[in-house]
Structure formats: structure tokens, C-alpha cells
Structure 1
Amino acid sequence: MGLRAQVRTRDGWAVQHAVVTVTDMTGSQVLRAAVDENGAVHADAPLTPGAHTVIVTAVGYAPAASTAFVTASGRADVGTVVLARQGGVELPPPGTWTLDPAHSSVGAVAQHLGISSVHGRFTDFVGRIEIADDVEKSRVEAVISAASIDTGNAMRDGHLKSGDFLDVENFPQITYSSTGVVPAGPDRWTVHGELALHGVARDIDLDLSYLGTGPDPWGGVRAAFHATAELRREDFAMNYNQVVQAGISAIGTTLKVELDIQAVQGDSLPAV
């Protein structure tokens, strides 16, 4: 007896804070229940046979309403209710998406002298995203010009371009090619891929957040993403390690990578 329902996101994740309300045909509320940690409602109180309206709400999601028919035994099985994120945070449509460097950033942070951080970015890069009908089969390809490193200090940038670090003369490009995409939570994904840097290729995962899709002023459609990763310099044969005093290196061995990406739907960028 009672009501049975499952509340999920479009990606199949439980919406754990959803509330299910049932009204009869006069508009009177006959049941209100919160879902459990699995996004399920199991309300055992019998309902009056006949047609009812089921409304599912959750903060951050557009409400969903449907009609449920209660059987003579007082039971209604609504099945799975899919809630769409508010603010346009639906997955981008399948197809090709082109990275827009003018509205994207590729940054990295390294520890300096053990007490502060040095922030850098690459200013020259291109890339494309292929969104598949099965999102987990989507692909990402990106190419970065190693010589475009910019930390705001010309002397430091010159050192980073030298053989001690990026060695841009011998390895002018940094490339990333994904090998798989796995859901990690609502609007979050783990992108598995291979990063080629300084002549060495390593498997690197990106922690990706999808921020939404919407129109731009030039008649196009854009999707926004934020991604992070952590790299160890020694994994890419960049072993320069000047020691300024016992136990403290001038530059840390770990790099934190942070990407803010806008991608435009289609094979090319709009003329602006």
C-alpha cells in the first residue's frame, strides 16, 4: 500500500533532499514525504483509489509534476522521476564543441620556497570536445603551446622555458587526450586521459565540474566547465631542484592545474 517512487538526476544520481507531495483531484494534499539517502520514497499509508497529482521538488532543481493512479489496494507506483537542474545545468547536446581560448584559462600553481605560491598560465592553446549520445564515450583533445607560459615575470618565464623545465625548443607542445569519462556525482565527472609533457606521456585524471550551457551574444551556444588535476614534476622528467636551505627547495615538486573552459558548439569559433 501507499506510494513508491525514485527521484534521480538526468545522470542517474539520487536527489537526496527531494520532497514528494501528493494531492487528490480537488487539490487537497494527501501525502508529503521526503526521500531517503537513495532518492526513494516508501510511504506505506494507503491512498484513496483514483487519479492523483504527484509533485516532486528539490532545491536547485526544477519541480516535476505527473499524474499517478492509485489502485483499489491504495497503492501507487510512480517509478523514477527525473529532475532537471535549474539555471541551464543540463548536459550539453551531443556533437562537436570547440574550446574558446579568449574566454578560457589554463593555469598552474607551484609552491615557492615552501611558504608561498607562484601562479602561471598558458596563453596559447586549442582544443575540442566530442559529446557522445552516451556521455561516458565523450572525448577531449587539447594542444598547448609550451612557450606561452606566463607567470608575470620575464626572467622566471625564460627559466621555465629552458631545459631545466619545459624545454620548449625540443618539446614545443603539451597535449592531452582523454580515454574515458566516468560520472563522479551530480554535474561532476572524472576524465581519464593521457598528458604528454616534456617528452613524457602519463595517465592523468581531471576532476571535472559541468557549469551549464547557454546562448552567447554572437548567436552561438556555449558550455562551461571547471577542471583540476595534480601533477608531479618528476613524473615528467623535470627534476630541477635548487635547494635554498636544508629541506627547502626553491620550487615545489607538485603542480596544481586549474582549468576554466568555455566551449562553443560547432567545429569553429564565431567571428566577433
Structure 2
Amino acid sequence: MDAKPDHATTTPRPGHYLLDPDRSAVTFTMKSVFGLAPVRGSFAIGSGTADVAEPLGESRAHAVIEAGSFRTGSAKRDEHVRSPRFLDTEAHPLITFVSAHGDRADPAVLAGTLTVRGVEQPVELTIERAQVSAGEFTVRATASVDRVAFGVSASRGMTGRHLGVTLDVTFVRS
């Protein structure tokens, strides 16, 4: 059983923080080839902010991911996924996450809206780890994303429907 983080010792000081793209990453795992072979990949995070409030439930977060940065290690597959059949990165160059405002019963869950291909869907990020140090904090969070809910529905049967997404992000107090 996974232990939830101790938020009493992992809560950053209230204030405005900027995401450090050089120390942050979005990775994913999904099944491909009729659900048998795992595919691992990543996206680059372009920018983001976190406004930490007291109480913590009033905090806000925002992140921008560059859709064209999709990488799996296979140039042909990556080009195909960036095409209009999948992410359509030319028409929709950004993927965004904006957290919901309001008090949550579970501080280990950050609810928000994910926008992919211009389609907005609710998503919940589960905070697995948080580390606070002087002037910054790092968070690892996971989510399951249903690609079909965002209109990314090509290659059913060849490509898994859900992506297991992991965010490792560092925010620096501004």
C-alpha cells in the first residue's frame, strides 16, 4: 500500500512560484501493439506557476506542455503521433493544466482541467511525493489520462486508451 505524503512537513511557504522547466519532466507509459508492448515517452514542460495559499486548498497551479515535444525514442512513431491523426501539434501546439480552486478533502489529490487538442477534461493528479527546501519545492504526481476523451482516438486496438502520466516538477519562489 502506498503511503501518502506527510503534508505537515511538505507544504511550501505561501507565495508565488515559477516552474523550473530544466528540472521538470512529464513522462508517460502506455500499451501498444494490441496492448502487449509498453511504450514509454516524455513531453517537455514549457512553463508553469504555483500560487501556494493558506489554507492549502486555496492554492492554484498552471502548467504548459509543448505538444510537439512528444518523444518515445522512435522518430517515425513520434512524427505520426504529432500528426493530425493524433495530437495535431501544428493546430494545437500546447497542452495545458489548470488546477481547480477550492478546498479538497484529500490534500494528496490536485483536481484540475487538462486541455489537449482544444478539448478540456477534468483530471486528478495524485501527489506521491513532495519535498520542500529553502525557496523551492518539488512534487511527483501521477494521473491516468484517457486519450479518447480528448479526441485522440486513432489506432484503436494498436494503441492503448489510457496513458499513465508522471509529473516530476520543481517550482522556485519568485
TM-score (ref. length: structure 1): 0.58
Match of 1:259 among 155, 158, 167: 167
CA distance in structure 1 between the aligned counterparts of 2:41 and 2:53, rounded to whole angstroms: 33
What residue is the counterpart of 1:100 in the other structure? 20
Cα pair 2:25 2:45 within 8 Å, conserved: no
What residue is the counterpart of 2:84 in the other structure? 163
Higher RCO (C-alpha under 8 Å, 6+ residues apart): 2
Taking structure 1 as reference, are residues 228 and 133 closer, same or farther at Cα in structure 2, changes over 3 Å only? same
CA distance in structure 2 between the aligned counterparts of 1:104 and 1:183, rounded to whole angstroms: 27
Is residue 193 of structure 1 aligned with residue 112 of structure 2? yes
Cα pair 1:183 1:189 within 8 Å, conserved: no
Match of 2:49 among 128, 132, 140: 128
Q: How many residues get paired?
A: 167
**Secondary structure at the counterpart of residue 149 of structure 2:** helix
Mapping for residues 34-183 of structure 1, pairs under 5 Å? 89-113=9-33, 114-180=35-101, 182-183=104-105
**Secondary structure at the counterpart of residue 167 of structure 1:** coil
Cα pair 2:63 2:97 within 8 Å, conserved: yes
Counterpart residue identity of residue 141, structure 2: A
**Secondary structure at the counterpart of residue 68 of structure 2:** helix
1:210 Cα deviation from its structure 2 partner:
4.2
Deviation string 1:56-109 (CA, Å, 9 cap, x unpaired) is xxxxxxxxxxxxxxxxxxxxxxxxxxxx6xxxx341000011111111111111
The higher radius of gyration belongs to 1
Is residue 233 of structure 1 aligned with residue 141 of structure 2? no
Cα pair 1:92 1:131 within 8 Å, conserved: yes
Cα pair 1:211 1:225 within 8 Å, conserved: yes
1:110 Cα deviation from its structure 2 partner:
1.1
What residue is the counterpart of 1:38 in the other structure? none
1:195 Cα deviation from its structure 2 partner:
0.7
CA distance in structure 2 between the aligned counterparts of 1:211 and 1:191, rounded to whole angstroms: 13
Q: Which runs of 4+ in 1 moved over 3 A?
A: none
What residue is the counterpart of 2:130 in the other structure? 211
Counterpart residue identity of residue 93, structure 1: R
Task: Kindly report the root-mean-square deviation, in angstroms, between the aligned alpha carbons of the 2 structures.
Answer: 1.7
**Secondary structure at the counterpart of residue 146 of structure 1:** strand
1:252 Cα deviation from its structure 2 partner:
0.6
Report sequence identity in percent. 32
CA distance in structure 2 between the aligned counterparts of 1:106 and 1:212, rounded to whole angstroms: 18
Counterpart residue identity of residue 14, structure 2: P
**Structure 2: any 5+ residue segments left out of the alignment?**
1-5
Deviation string 1:121-163 (CA, Å, 9 cap, x unpaired) is 1124210100002110000011111101111111111001001
Deviation string 1:168-226 (CA, Å, 9 cap, x unpaired) is 11111111111135253xxx5211111110121011111113422114xxxxx220111
